[in-house]
Amino acid sequence: MLDRFMSGYEDRRAAIQSILAEGEVRSQTELLEQLAARGHRSNQPVVSRDLRALRVAKRGGVYTLVEQDRVTPLEQLRSLLRGATPAGPYQVVVRCEPGAASAIARALEADELQGLVGTVAGDDTVFAAVASQAASRRLRRRVRELL
């Protein structure tokens, strides 16, 4: 049952992306009509959540897909890294050059390292929450590889 729900959810969002890429949509009502024409029954609150999740913005009265933020790969930021140390079983402190923590945090998250739950960036420090001690070791090893 959950698989069918997820499939419908993903199919609907793919249809929204396709509709927005093919032409101008000026209202959620119009989007709902176009979805229905493609066999996707929905309602305004669901479509509103879909638009938010898909990072759709209304510009000039037209719904527009916003390009994903570009993230510099961690490998390209290696000269900014200074090290990584554990801070308890579920946190790793990643040190970097002043002003680089935000870029490092985004690159770590984009790297999709197994067990990385999230990051918080300061100026020259990133606190990384991890799901396990094994994930902590993987993250520290990943940073060491780049030093």
Q: What is the pLDDT of residues 13-63, one digit of tens each?
A: 999 999 998 989 999 999 999 999 999 989 999 999 899 888 888 888 999
Is residue 128 located within the same domain as residue 80?
yes
Number of domains making up the chain = 2
The model's pTM is: 0.56
pLDDT for residue 128: 97
Q: Give the type of residue at 126.
A: V
- Region 85-91 average pLDDT: 96
Q: What is the mean pLDDT of the chain?
A: 89
Statement to judge: residues 38 and 79 lie in one domain: no
Query: Are residues 41 and 11 part of one domain?
Result: yes
Residues 56 and 89 in one domain: no
Q: The CATH number of the domain where 87 resides is what?
A: 3.30.1360.40
- CA–CA distance, 100 with 8 (Å, rounded to integer): 40
Is residue 3 within 8 A of residue 26, CB to CB? The reply is no
Mean pLDDT of 118-130: 96
Give the residue from 65, 98, 116 where a domain finishes: 65
For residue 104, the enclosing domain spans 74-146
Q: Are 120 and 91 within one domain?
A: yes
